[in-house]
Amino acid sequence: MKQFFAFVRKEFAHVLRDRKTLFILFGMPVVQILIFGFALTNEVKNSKLVIVDQAKDLASQQIISRIEASRYFDIEKAVMDPAQIESAFREGKIKLALIFPANFSKDLMHLNRAQIQVIADASDPNTANMLGNYVSSIIQDQQMALNQGNKIPYTIVPEIRMLYNPQLKGAPNFVPGVMALVLMLVCVMMTAISIVREKEVGTMEILLVSPFKPLLVIISKAVPYLFLSLINVISILLLSVFVLDLPINGSVALLFAESTLFIITNLTLGIFISIRTNSQQVAMLISLMGMMLPTVLFSGFMFPIENMPLPLQIISNIVPAKWFYIIVKSIMIKGVGFAAIWKQTLVLLGMTVLLLGLSWKNFKIRLA
């Protein structure tokens, strides 16, 4: 055990003394979160919205002025027919269209129930989703204002239609995505490289010719990165909660437990890569091309998996980040508990065990 701690201490020294790498490791998630975060909020702030007011009455005017007051939209009040709206969407001139039917006020007064049609450009599902939510909440505010002191409540139903991507599936939230990406990068690449470096420099030779258990060499190499990654998880979550105002709806403890599992999965993956390669370049290339790319493509973070051809959907299942992404999204956004994500957890666990087994089997106690 003493040997193990000596080893872990040495690993920490390596990591902490390489200031440049350390800076990148801790800076990267911050920068990514901020870039994604602000790129997104910017877009939502200045979204072009067209309002077709066929009713032109008091009720519709009240809603329009509420929307005008919101900082999220840039309103064009041009009178358009459906065909014009369609082409405006296609050309990307507008992100959202709000159509008040001619009998809006009448329906509201007489039937106590009126509809507004909201059409959103869902080719960018995240933005569409947000804009739709903003409009709905504005309409709800108005509804509440109308209902004050009323016995029979008025109901305004926004009928939201998503253009191009009607189910809004895979509508991503970038925080879970960035988390998956960063953890993947830190754990897989850094572990793989740090082990292969010992092979390249020749220190592995000395360690092999010592009573120290070779497998312990490798496990102790992974320890610092586990800590490093947990720090990254914390910093990402702090940023998203306090800077980007994205709350964690579910259990924080559960989120951490799941993150730890995902980190371990990735560490074993890094270890496996390092066992199979002999140069830092190859290890880096494999972790970057072989791991980063699939993570970006198949985790559902950038591209909705449901829209992919079936073979790709099947492939996406072997990407650990996909499962982690679902888990984090479920905990952070939906706020669900373990009962809802035990399947995904089991998949990650299985992957970890499999990778450990493969590493064990492939580990060489000699050089060639």
Partner 1 sequence: MIQVNNITKVYGKEKTLAVNDVSFSVKEGELFGLIGPDGAGKTSIFRMLTTLLLPDGGSATVNGFDIVKDFKQIRNSVGYMPGKFSLYQDLSIEENLNFFATVFNTTVEENYHLIKDIYIQIEPFKKRRAGKLSGGMKQKLALCCALIHKPTVLFLDEPTTGVDPVSRKEFWEMLKRLKAQNITIVVSTPYMDEATLCDRIALIQEGKILSIDTPAAITASYPDELIALKSEKMSALLKALNEFPKIKSVYAFGEYAHAAFQESGVTEEEIKTYLTTQQIALLEFKKIEATIEDCFIGFLKN
Q: By CB under 8 A, name the binding residues for partner 1.
A: 2-3, 6-7, 10, 13-14, 17-18, 201-203, 205-212, 365-368
State in angstroms the smallest separation of the CB of 206 from partner 1: 6
Contact call for residues 50 and 259 (beta carbons, < 8 A): no
Q: Which is nearer to partner 1, 202 or 309 (CB)?
A: 202
In terms of CB distance, is 13 or 243 closer to partner 1?
13
Decide whether 225 or 325 has the Cβ nearer to partner 1. 225
CB of 69 to partner 1, least distance (A): 59
Which residue, 209 or 253, has its beta carbon nearer to partner 1?
209
Apex CA 319: angle with CA 359 and CA 343, to 5°? Answer: 95
**CA 287 – CA 61 distance, rounded (Å):** 56
55 phi/psi in degrees, rounded to 5: -85, -45
Neighbours of 284 (CB within 10 A): 16
**Please, what is the minimum distance in Å from the beta carbon of residue 204 to partner 1?**
8
Q: Which is nearer to partner 1, 62 or 203 (CB)?
A: 203
Of the pair 193, 305, the CB lying nearest partner 1 is at 193
- Nearest approach in angstroms of CB 92 to partner 1 is 52
**Closest CB to partner 1 among residues 14, 66:** 14
Greatest alpha-carbon span in the chain? 89
Residue 149 or 211 having the CB closest to partner 1? 211
- For partner 1, which is the closer residue by CB, 79 or 201? 201
Task: Name the minimum Å distance from CB 75 to partner 1.
Answer: 59
Question: How many angstroms separate the CA atoms of 250 and 259, rounded?
Answer: 14
- Closest contact distance (angstroms) between CB of 248 and partner 1 is 37
Rounded to a whole number of angstroms, the minimum distance from the CB of residue 232 to partner 1 is: 22
Shortest separation between residue 202's beta carbon and partner 1, angstroms: 4
CB of 23 to partner 1, least distance (A): 16
Interhelix angle 338-362/252-276, nearest 10 degrees: 20
